[in-house]
Chain A
C-alpha cells in the first residue's frame, strides 16, 4: 500500500529527527584540547631504561660495578670521536650511565655534545657487541625524552640502524633495539610511519616465538602497541593487517603486562573509523577482549574496556558483534566498579550501545543494564554521571515507547532530574532533551499529565524553572520550551495577507498555475 509505513519505523524517524545513529554515537575524540593532567591510566608513551646499581647485572663483559669510570663531558666527546675502541666503549658507557640515572638525566647536554651520529655509527659496529649495546641503550634513553630529544636521535639516522639490529645475534642488543624503536614509534604518527616505511614490522614480528623470554616479549608487545598508536593519520592499513595476527596470539598469553599492552594496541586500532574497527572485529578477538575486560586486573581491564568501547562506536553490526561477544554481561560489573575512570568508560560504552536500534536497546534491558545505570546516575563519579546521562538520552531517542516506559519504571527520573544541578551546561542540555523525549513518549501513551506530576514530585519542575534564567542560551531555551509546552499555557505567531478597503480586509486573488 502506498501510504503504509512500518509504524515503528515511522516513529523512529520522528523521534530521531535530525539525528542519525552515526551522529548519536560519540567517538572518543570530541575535543582535542585538554586542560587536565595527562591521564594516569593511559599507557606510557616512552620509557627510559634506568640503571639501579644493585639490579644492574652488568651485561657488558669487563664492566664491574666496582670499576665505574667517571668521565667528564669533554672527555666523553673526545673519546667518542676518537678512534680508540677501548675509550669509545668507556665513554659510551659513561654517557649511558649518566642518561640512566634516576634523577635529571642530562639529555640536553648529551645531545648538545653532538655525539648522536657517532653513537648511531656505533650501532653498526658488529665487531664490538658491548659498544653496540651501550650505544643502543644510550640512544634509547635519549629517545625517551621529549619530541625534540627523539628527533635528535632520529635525525642522527638511528632508525635504519636499530631496525638492522633487530636481527642481531645477541638477544640483549636486539631487545634494546626493540625498546629504542618503541620510544621512536611512541613519539607520534610521523616517526611511527617512518619506522613502518623502513619495514620495521617483519623483523620485529619475527622475534616473537614460543621461546622468546617473557621480558623480551613484553618489550616487543609494547613496541607493537606504539606502532598501532596515534591518529592523524592512522597507521597504514597493511601494517595493521600484518600486526594483528600476532597481537591476537599475544592476547592469549598469560603474562599481565603482555596482555595489557596487546589490549592497548587493539584499543588504538579500534579508535577510528568503522573500516578500522571492522578489521579488528574480523579477527574474532572480541570474545577474548570481553573476557579480559571482565578480569580482575585493572591494567588489563582498562585497555580491554577501551577497545570494546571503541568497537561500539561503530556500525550497528559491529556493535552487535560486541553484544554477541557478551559485553552486556560484563558491563554491569564495570558500571559498579570502584574506580571512577572504569565507571566512566563503561558508561560511555553503554551510551553508544543505547544509541543503536531498538533491538539492541532491548538486549540492554534484558541483560539488566538499567539498574546499574540508574545507580551510576545517582551515585557515580561526575565524569561517569555525564556519560550515564548520554546513555539515557540515547535510550530515549531510539527506544520504543515501551522501552522508555521500562526506563522510567527503573527509577531513572529522580537521579536524572537531580543532575539538572550539574555544573556543566552540556549535561544540563542533554538532560532537558531527554526530558522532552520522555514527554513525547508520554504523549503517545496519553500519560503527559502523570509525567508532569512525577517531574514535579521529584523536584524537577523547580529545577527546570530555575534553568529559565541560565546564562547559556540553548539551556534556557530548552528549559523554557519544556515549561511552556508541558507546565503552562500556549503560544501564537503570525504572517501576512492582502489589503483593505472600507477598513475591512479585501478578499481577492490572482490566479496562477498550480503544480504540487
Chain B
C-alpha cells in the first residue's frame, strides 16, 4: 500500500464502517482491515490518519486500530514470519514518541500503550534512543508533554514490580536508572516548586499533581527490585518531599465527587505504598525516616473523612501502620498508652463504623454485601484494614488494646441502649469490634478456631446477641439481626452446645425475614451449625435433637426461596441439602412436597442456568431425597423417575450443557436403585448416550462413563440381546477415551465393566481388537496412569476368562507377546498399582497366571515364573511405588484446555466401591498359598525346585509365612 491520498481515503471509509452498529456493514469492514494489515505502510497510513484526519472520530478510531495492530503483530515469534516489515518498524519507532506527545489525551493514551508494547519487545537493545528522547522532553516545561512521557515510562517500567530478578532485567534497570533517575529527581523537585508557585491555580495544580502521581508510581517501579544506589544517595530528597506531600492539603484539589478518588488521594495513597515498600525491603536504610512517616500517616488517618473516595487511601494507610506495628524494633512507636488509645479511638473505631455506603449495599446490593462480609472478599475495605490493625497491635499489646476497646464497646452499647432506633449503628460497630478483637484464627469450615481469651464471648452472646434474635419482629433492625446471626455462625466452635440448640429455632425463624442479608445469613448459619463436630468428631447437633423443628425448618427454607431476590439463593439451597443430610429419614413424610418443589425449581432454572452453586446444591438435594427415600422403600424409585424424567428429557433435548453431567449422575443413581432388569425407558435412551457429541465435552465424560457402567451392571444381558448392534459403538467410546492421556482411566472403567458383565460370546469377536488397541497405546505413549489401569484390566480379564485365555490371546496377536508383557510390563511395573481393590485384582490375576497357565510351566516362559512370583510378593509386602517420571508431572495441567467444562461431581450421587473378586477371594495371600499348593500336587517337585533356585531369601520367607497361615505345604 502506498502512502497516497487515495489509500488514506479508502482507509478512512473502512474505519468509519467499523464503527457502524449494523454488523452487516461493520463485519466486512473489519475483515477488510485485517486482510490489508500485512501490507507495507499500513501502520504508517494509520499514524497519518490519527494525526491529520479532519474528523476526530477517525483520529480516535485510527489510534485504537493502530494500538491493536501493534499488539497483534509487533512481537516476532520464532519460526513464524515477521508480520511487520523492517522499514515500517523503523519509521514507527522514529515517529511515535513525538506524535504521542503532541496528540490530545485520548489518542495519547492509545499511543502510549502502543509504545509500551513495542518497548516490551525492543527496549532497550532495539530502541536505544527511546530513553534519551523521553528524558529530553522533561526540559520542555510543557506538562502535557511531560505527563505523556511519564505515562509511557510508567507503562514501560511497571513490569519491574513483578518480574523475577535476572541479569537481563537488572541490566535494563541499571540502564534506565543511569539515564532516568537524575532527570526524574530534578523533575520531582521542580514540579513540587511549581506546585507552590501555582498554589492558587486550580487547573495548573491538576496537571502538576497528575505528574506527581506518575512520578510517585515510577519511584515505586524503579525501587522495587532492589534499592538503587542513586535513590539511596537521594533518599533525603525523596523522602522529605514525600513526607511533605503526605501532610499537604489544598482546597483547590479537593473534589466534590464522593466516590471517585481525587489526585490528592491517589498521590498520598501511592506515597503510602512507597513508604511501605521501603519499610518492608530497605528497613536498614529507611529506619531514620520511618517514625516521621508513621506520625504523618496516622495524622492523615485522623483527619480523613468517611467518604468512599478516601477508601483506598485509608486502607493503604492503615495497612502501613499494621505492618509496621508488628515489627519488634518499632514496638516503641506504639507502646505509649496515649498513643494506643488514640490509634484505637481515632483510627480503628471510626473505620469500623457502618457507613451510608454500607447501608446502601446492605439494602440494594445484598449479594455484594454478603460476598464482602461473609466470604472475606473485603481485602481492601476500611473495616478489614482496621481489623488487621487490631490484630497487628494485639501481637504486642493484646492486654492494653483489649482494655481500651472494652471501654469503647461498653460506651457504644450504652449509646445504643439510650435510643436503639437512632443509635443502632453504635451497636453494629460494637459487635464488629468484639468480633475482630476476639478472632485470632478463622476458617470457612469451622468459623473462629482461636479466640482472644481476654474477651468474654459468652457474656456478650447472652447479653447482647440473643436478645436481638429473640425479638418477635424479624424485620426490625436488619443490620443488627445480620450481625447477631453472623456472631453465632463465626463463634460456633466456641459457643457451648446448649446455647447453639437454643439459637436454632431463632435462626429458623429468621429465614422468614424480608431482608435478603438476614434470611441468607440465617440459612448459612444453620447450614454451618449442622456441620459442627463435637468432641469425638461426631456431628454435634443430631437428627433427634432437630426432630421438633423438622417441619418448620423445611417449610421456612423452601419459603425463603420465594422471597424477593432469593429465588436462586445458593446459601438457602445449601442449607436445604445440609438439612436433608442431617435429618435423613425424618424428611421422608415431606418428600412428595419437597420433590415437587425441587423439580419445579429445576425446570425454572434450566431455562437459564446462572448460579452454578445453587444448581449444584439443588442436584445434591435431589440425590439425597432419592437415596434417603429408596433406602427405606426401594420401590419408591419409580415415583422419582416419574417426577424427574420429564424435566430431564427437556434438559437433554435443549442441550442445557451445565446440567447434563448432573442429569447423568442422578440417572445413574436411579438406575442403580433398580434390583431387576433394566427398565425399557432406560433402554430407549441407550443409543443416544453413545453419541459422539456428548463425549466431546470433557465435563460429560466421568458421569457418562458412570452411567454406562450402571447400564452394564444392571442390563448387560438386555444390551447383548436387544442392542447387540450398539456394541461397536460402545467399544468406540472406549477407543475414544483410551486415546487420551487424560481420560484413559475412564476408558478402562468402561472396559472393565464390559468384561465383567457382558456375556462372553457377545464381545468375543472384538476381544483381539481391544488388546491390539491397548498395545498400541502402550507402544506409542506409555504413561504411569495408563500402565496402572492396564495392569488391573489384564488381571481382571485373566480372572474372568482364565490365565490360559489371556496367554493365548496375547500370543495370537504376536508370537511371544505374553512373555514380553510379563517381562517388560507386569514384573517391573506391578508395584505401581494403587488402591485396595485394584491390588487385589492384580494379586488374584497373577496367582492364576502362576498356577493355572500350563505354558508357564513347560515353555520358555518358565524362566519368568519365579520373577513373577517375586513381583507378586513385592506387591503384597513392599510399599507402593509412587514415583512418577519427571516428564509426566505436568500432564494434567498442561493438557487442560480450560476448566469451564470441569466435571462437577455430586457427593450424594456417589458410587459404592465395587469389588469384582470380593466373594471369590478373601485373603489373596492365603489364596496364593492354596493355589501354589494345588499346582505342586499336580506336578510334584517342580515348585519347590523353582523356588529354591531363584527366589530371593526375603521373598521366600514371606511366602513361607503365607503357606503356614494357609496350613499347606508344597510338594
Q: Which residues of A contact B (CB under 8 A)?
A: 1-5, 7, 10, 13-14, 17-18, 30-37, 340, 379, 381-382, 421-426, 429, 453, 456-458, 462, 466, 470-472, 474-475, 481, 484, 489-498, 500, 502-509, 511-516
- B831 → A minimal CB distance (Å): 5
Instruction: Select A514's contact among B224, B701, B814, beta carbons within 8 Å.
Output: B814
B904 within 8 A of A: yes
**C-alpha gap A127/B889 in the complex (Å):** 78
B277 touches A493 (CB 8 A): no
B228 touches A36 (CB 8 A): yes
**C-alpha gap A313/B171 in the complex (Å):** 26
What are the residues of chain A within 8 A of B177 when measuring CB–CB? 35
**C-alpha gap A497/B889 in the complex (Å):** 23
B729 touches A507 (CB 8 A): yes
A382 touches B779 (CB 8 A): no
A-B contacts, 15 listed (Cβ < 8 Å): A2-B827, A2-B867, A340-B283, A379-B327, A382-B283, A457-B443, A457-B449, A462-B379, A493-B743, A494-B698, A495-B895, A503-B691, A504-B687, A505-B695, A507-B728
Given contacts A3-B874, A379-B327, A472-B164, contact A493 B896 (CB under 8 A): yes
Closest chain A residue, CB of each to CB of B732: A505
What are the residues of chain A within 8 A of B164 when measuring CB–CB? 425-426, 429, 472, 474
A30 touches B165 (CB 8 A): yes
Given contacts A456-B443, A492-B742, contact A423 B281 (CB under 8 A): yes
The 7 closest A-B pairs by CB, nearest first: A505-B732, A504-B729, A495-B740, A497-B736, A493-B742, A493-B895, A33-B170
What are the residues of chain B within 8 A of A18 when measuring CB–CB? 886, 889
Closest chain A residue, CB of each to CB of B951: A1
Q: Which of A470, A495, A515 has the most CB of B within 10 A?
A: A495
What are the residues of chain B within 8 A of A500 when measuring CB–CB? 692, 732
A35 touches B897 (CB 8 A): no
B66-87 contact mask (Cβ, 8 Å, vs A): 1 or 0: 0000000000000000000000
What are the residues of chain B within 8 A of A425 when measuring CB–CB? 162-164
Closest chain A residue, CB of each to CB of B817: A514
Size of the chain B interface, CB-CB below 8 angstroms: 111
What are the residues of chain B within 8 A of A511 when measuring CB–CB? 772, 813
- B354 → A minimal CB distance (Å): 23
What are the residues of chain A within 8 A of B813 when measuring CB–CB? 511, 514
**C-alpha gap A494/B733 in the complex (Å):** 13
What are the residues of chain B within 8 A of A494 when measuring CB–CB? 698, 740, 742-743, 895, 897
Q: Which of B225, B232, B698, B726 has the most CB of A within 10 A?
A: B225
B446 within 8 A of A: yes
A503 touches B731 (CB 8 A): no
What are the residues of chain A within 8 A of B728 when measuring CB–CB? 504, 506-507
B820 touches A17 (CB 8 A): no
A503 touches B773 (CB 8 A): no
**C-alpha gap A13/B886 in the complex (Å):** 10
What are the residues of chain A within 8 A of B920 when measuring CB–CB? none
A505 touches B902 (CB 8 A): no
Closest chain A residue, CB of each to CB of B328: A379
**C-alpha gap A503/B689 in the complex (Å):** 11
What are the residues of chain A within 8 A of B450 when measuring CB–CB? 457
What are the residues of chain B within 8 A of A421 when measuring CB–CB? 323
Instruction: Select A453's contact among B443, B731, B830, B952, beta carbons within 8 Å.
Output: B443
- List 19 additional A-B contacts (Cβ < 8 Å) besides A14-B883, A35-B174: A2-B827, A3-B871, A13-B883, A14-B882, A35-B170, A382-B281, A382-B283, A426-B164, A457-B442, A466-B379, A492-B896, A493-B743, A493-B896, A496-B739, A507-B766, A512-B772, A512-B779, A516-B778, A516-B782
For chain B, what secondary structure do more than half of its interface residues adopt (helix, strand, loop), or is it mixed? helix
What are the residues of chain A within 8 A of B874 when measuring CB–CB? 1, 3-4
- A185 → B minimal CB distance (Å): 26
B806-844 residues at the A interface, CB under 8 angstroms: 813-814, 817, 820-821, 824-825, 827-828, 830-831
What are the residues of chain A within 8 A of B687 when measuring CB–CB? 504
Instruction: Select B376's contact among A33, A462, A498, beta carbons within 8 Å.
Output: A462
A497 touches B443 (CB 8 A): no
A457 touches B952 (CB 8 A): no
A35 touches B892 (CB 8 A): no
What are the residues of chain A within 8 A of B776 when measuring CB–CB? 509, 512, 514
B280 within 8 A of A: yes
What are the residues of chain B within 8 A of A429 when measuring CB–CB? 164
Closest chain A residue, CB of each to CB of B873: A1
**C-alpha gap A227/B170 in the complex (Å):** 29
B878 touches A4 (CB 8 A): yes
**C-alpha gap A453/B895 in the complex (Å):** 30
Given contacts A5-B881, A33-B171, A495-B742, contact A381 B283 (CB under 8 A): yes
A422 touches B280 (CB 8 A): yes
What are the residues of chain A within 8 A of B695 when measuring CB–CB? 505
B870 touches A505 (CB 8 A): no
- B838 → A minimal CB distance (Å): 17
What are the residues of chain A within 8 A of B904 when measuring CB–CB? 489
Closest chain B residue, CB of each to CB of A477: B893
Instruction: Select A35's contact among B166, B173, B733, B867, beta carbons within 8 Å.
Output: B173
**C-alpha gap A489/B903 in the complex (Å):** 9
What are the residues of chain A within 8 A of B882 when measuring CB–CB? 10, 14
Given contacts A457-B449, A492-B902, contact A497 B739 (CB under 8 A): yes
- B440 → A minimal CB distance (Å): 9
Instruction: Select B162's contact among A2, A5, A471, A507, beta carbons within 8 Å.
Output: A471
A504 touches B955 (CB 8 A): no
- B385 → A minimal CB distance (Å): 13
A506 touches B742 (CB 8 A): no
- A115 → B minimal CB distance (Å): 34
Closest chain A residue, CB of each to CB of B905: A490
B227 within 8 A of A: yes
B272-308 contact mask (Cβ, 8 Å, vs A): 1 or 0: 0000010011111000000000000000000000000
B735 within 8 A of A: yes
- B424 → A minimal CB distance (Å): 30
Instruction: Select B828's contact among A2, A7, A36, A381, beta carbons within 8 Å.
Output: A2
B444 within 8 A of A: yes
B699 within 8 A of A: yes
B954 within 8 A of A: yes
What are the residues of chain B within 8 A of A489 when measuring CB–CB? 899, 902, 904
**C-alpha gap A2/B164 in the complex (Å):** 44
**C-alpha gap A127/B559 in the complex (Å):** 115
**C-alpha gap A472/B159 in the complex (Å):** 9
**C-alpha gap A429/B164 in the complex (Å):** 10
B914 within 8 A of A: no
B368 within 8 A of A: no
B689-711 contact mask (Cβ, 8 Å, vs A): 1 or 0: 01110010011011000000000
**C-alpha gap A7/B882 in the complex (Å):** 10
What are the residues of chain B within 8 A of A456 when measuring CB–CB? 442-445
- B393 → A minimal CB distance (Å): 16
Closest chain B residue, CB of each to CB of A473: B162
B161 within 8 A of A: yes
A514 touches B281 (CB 8 A): no
**C-alpha gap A482/B667 in the complex (Å):** 33
Given contacts A1-B874, A3-B871, A505-B729, contact A31 B955 (CB under 8 A): no
What are the residues of chain A within 8 A of B739 when measuring CB–CB? 495-498
**C-alpha gap A513/B815 in the complex (Å):** 10
Q: Which of B224, B738, B772 has the most CB of A within 10 A?
A: B772
**C-alpha gap A201/B225 in the complex (Å):** 42
What are the residues of chain A within 8 A of B328 when measuring CB–CB? 379
What are the residues of chain B within 8 A of A471 when measuring CB–CB? 159, 161-162
A505 touches B736 (CB 8 A): yes
B901 within 8 A of A: yes
**C-alpha gap A484/B902 in the complex (Å):** 11
Closest chain B residue, CB of each to CB of A414: B441
A508 touches B740 (CB 8 A): no
Closest chain A residue, CB of each to CB of B739: A497
What are the residues of chain B within 8 A of A36 when measuring CB–CB? 226-229, 232
- A184 → B minimal CB distance (Å): 26
B562 within 8 A of A: no
